[in-house]
A and B are shown apart, each in its own frame.
Chain A
């Protein structure tokens, strides 16, 4: 039976007054006390196991003479329940305000009508949004995929590379147009004059074919070149690797400072997480001895060379 405000309050001997307020325990989320309007005062009385609550009546087990031992209500010690955020109170407490009803507007009582309006609202949303999906997608993805740049770029003269198996970092300027912005920046690759042993390691006596995304061969590196150009990008995760003359374990090696992949001067993986050997770039030697490359980039972290630029 739920407790109601205005319930009569009866002690073991007689009626003493009525319930004017209830007090909630914020942690237990239940009614802990009732405030009772007596003839001359309002007192706060705890609900205990002996209290019987029935319809319109709160029955205490003690006599009315004991009522005086309960404290008078000091309103300043309490907050109104609407001013306190007690989580889940509505679900715990069934006392008040009870069920207070508001009629649904007559026009909306027809269920099919409500459903119709709901569906219609959604339909309008879909009709508006659907034609926008493709243009927005195109707008956002526009710069993501672009054709490959097969320009030949001069990076230096072969005459400067004299010592075999000693990699040389070759820097060059490259102009790139990104959207509206044209920028020139420096890039670098490694050029190695190759001994016959390295030539065999890199070419295995065969040419290296470079294919575009359609599978068409756009360049062939012949094994008879004296130098090889390694892309400066580590095939593990795209950092720039370096040449070390005195690595603790491996001696003269390419070494990537990021995740510590190690390659020999022919690009073979000696240690570390790299999934493939260093990328050999498409190259040719111009008549004057200038080394020219196609500045291709390949996706890092893959077993095979997948061109991305």
Chain B
């Protein structure tokens, strides 16, 4: 008996490890494994990579207004492979958003948010908000012009929320305008509060998912669900890992081909820099340019009411949409709504990019 076996048995005797391992892997998947189910695992993988590269970056990064930019510059320009770690973290953030949206679309199309999986969906929406928070707070940390102006405008938007807006914006900034205190606060939110929140919510998400069980394909007879049934291990695990490897190659490739560029140090004087948020917030940015969202009221509607309503709608989805039908072609209203939404986002994003040269 090998040493590893001896240790494994020793632990198993005390905490019933083998049953636990078996239970993790033996999750019956109705209708069998599929690449369509790999998005969630890919998200977990990206998060782990973000946490890992994030911890590496903290070896050198200094979260103070007088050194944040210099330490980022040091990571990027002097440190061996610093450019790669930072770029991986940067592109990982984009990959996270892409994968998150794909995951949500898959769940939506498959109708997998419906009873009895409402709690899985709700925990997922909270995770969605946490990831957006990661993107928003991380954007400030390099403390260059892009960072400073993205945050200045972003927090200004929060200020437009009724009653709590002013308090919330000041709380995030640690003052009336973005500055040194804002950097400290965003840092602690980015590296402590959000990771803790994400781990907790992810655990709940997975717990709820395991309690409800996988939804399986949207069209299959009971017989097919049963005969094609597979456990999570090994074939789904294999498919998940194939997707993870693909994600890794894409992120690493982007990091090499298009490494992070650090602009001038943050300053309330933007010189020739034209502020713009990260690409996945561009549609919101473009939305606020529309004439219908002008003026104090318009700004509230575009910046707070509409996105707020969207989140509420997402959360309410499994409760509004109670029809148990899961086949996408038999849910024309839900499907057209999601197509319309995605088309609007693409068009707004495209408009924002097209008007850059103006």
Decide if the interface of chain A is mainly helix, strand, loop or mixed. loop
Q: How far is the CA of A186 from the CA of B289 in the complex (A)?
A: 28
A104 at the interface (CB under 8 A from B): no
Closest to A248 in B: B358
**Inter-chain contact total with CB atoms closer than 8 Å:** 160
Contact B159 A275 (CB under 8 A): no
In chain A, residues 176-222, which have Cβ atoms closer than 8 Å to a Cβ of chain B?
176, 178-179, 181, 183, 185-188
Task: Please provide the chain B residues from 341 to 357 with a CB less than 8 Å away from any CB of chain A in the complex.
Answer: 355
Q: Which residues of B contact A238 (CB under 8 A)?
A: 152-153, 156
B170 touches A302 (CB 8 A): no
Query: 29 pairs across A/B with beta carbons < 8 Å?
Result: A26-B28, A27-B229, A28-B226, A83-B18, A85-B28, A87-B212, A87-B213, A140-B171, A144-B167, A144-B173, A176-B179, A178-B179, A179-B184, A185-B267, A186-B269, A187-B268, A237-B153, A237-B288, A238-B156, A240-B269, A258-B276, A260-B289, A273-B298, A274-B294, A275-B295, A275-B296, A275-B298, A300-B156, A303-B296
Chain A residue nearest to B23 (CB atoms) is A85
User: In chain B, what residue has the closest Cβ to A307?
Assistant: B176
A137 to B159, CA, bound (A): 20
Q: Mark A28-68, 1 if CB is under 8 A from B, else 0.
A: 10000000000000000000000000000000000000000
- Decide if B270 is an interface residue (CB 8 Å cutoff): yes
The verdict on A123 contacting chain B, using a C-beta distance below 8 Å, is no
Q: B159, B174, B269: which contacts A188 (Cβ < 8 A)? A: B269
**Cβ-defined contact, A185 with B268, below 8 A:** yes
Which residues of B are found within 8 Å of A144, using beta-carbon distances?
167, 170-171, 173-176
Whether B267 and A301, one on each chain, are in contact in the complex, defined by CB atoms closer than 8 angstroms, is no
Chain B nearest Cβ from A96, distance in angstroms? 17
B22 touches A84 (CB 8 A): yes
Contact A237 B222 (CB under 8 A): no
Taking a contact as CB atoms under 8 Å apart, the answer to whether B160 and A272 are in contact is no
Report if A187-B269 is in contact (Cβ < 8 Å); known contacts: A181-B64, A273-B295.
yes
Tell me the B24-49 residues at the A interface (CB within 8 Å): 24, 26-28, 30
- In contact, A273 and B293 (Cβ under 8 angstroms): yes
- List 16 other contacts, CB 8 Å, given A273-B293, A308-B176: A27-B222, A27-B225, A79-B22, A80-B19, A82-B19, A82-B23, A144-B167, A178-B181, A185-B269, A237-B153, A237-B156, A239-B270, A240-B149, A257-B274, A258-B153, A258-B275
Q: Which of A28, A183, A300, A309 contacts B65 (CB 8 A)?
A: A183
Which residues of chain A from 81 to 97 have a CB within 8 Å of any chain B CB? Answer: 82-88
Q: How far is the CA of A144 from the CA of B184 in the complex (A)?
A: 13
Is A145 part of the contact surface with B, judged by Cβ < 8 Å?
yes
Give 1 or 0 for each of B108-151: 1 = CB within 8 Å of chain A CB.
00000000100000000000000000000000000000000100
The chain A residue sitting closest to B176, CB to CB, is A308
B226-A25 in contact (CB<8A): yes
Roughly how many angstroms separate A187 CA and B152 CA in the complex, as a whole number? 15
Query: Nearest Cβ in chain A — how far from B322, in angstroms?
Result: 20
In the complex, chain A residues whose CB is within 8 Å of the CB of B226: 25, 27-28
Q: Given the complex of chains A and B, what is the CA–CA distance between A285 and B2 in angstroms?
A: 88
Specify the chain A residue showing the minimal Cβ separation from B28.
Answer: A26
Whose C-beta in chain A lies nearest to the C-beta of B64?
A: A181
Q: Which one, B167, B268, B275, B289, contacts A272 given CB within 8 A?
A: B289
How many Å from the CB of B188 to the closest CB on chain A? 11
Whether B88 sits at the interface, judged by CB under 8 Å, is: no
Residues of B within 8 A of A237 (CB): 153, 156-157, 288, 299
A-to-B contact residues, CB < 8 Å: 25-28, 79-80, 82-88, 140-141, 143-146, 171, 176, 178-179, 181, 183, 185-188, 232, 236-240, 248, 257-260, 272-275, 297, 299-303, 308-309
Question: Which residues of chain B have C-beta atoms less than 8 A from A82's C-beta?
Answer: 19, 23
Contact assessment for B179 and A239 in the assembled complex, using a CB-CB cutoff below 8 Å: no
Chain B residue numbers with a CB within 8 Å of A272 are: 289, 294
Residue of A nearest to B298 (CB): A273
Which residues 221-258 of B sit at the A interface, judged by CB distance below 8 A?
Answer: 222, 225-226, 229, 231
Provide the bound-state CA to CA distance between A236 and B159, in Å. 12
Bound Cα distance A257, B18 (Å): 60
B296 → chain A, closest Cβ, in Å?
Answer: 4
Q: Which of A236, A237, A275: most chain B Cβ within 10 A?
A: A237
Within 8 A of A (CB), among B287-308: 288-291, 293-296, 298-299, 302-303
Instruction: Please name the residue on chain A nearest to B166 by beta carbon.
Output: A299
Q: Decide: A275 and B294 in contact? CB cutoff 8 A.
A: yes
Given contacts A238-B153, A240-B270, A273-B293, contact A309 B30 (CB under 8 A): no
Tell me which of B181, B210, B222, B275 has the highest count of chain A C-beta atoms within 10 A of its own C-beta: B275
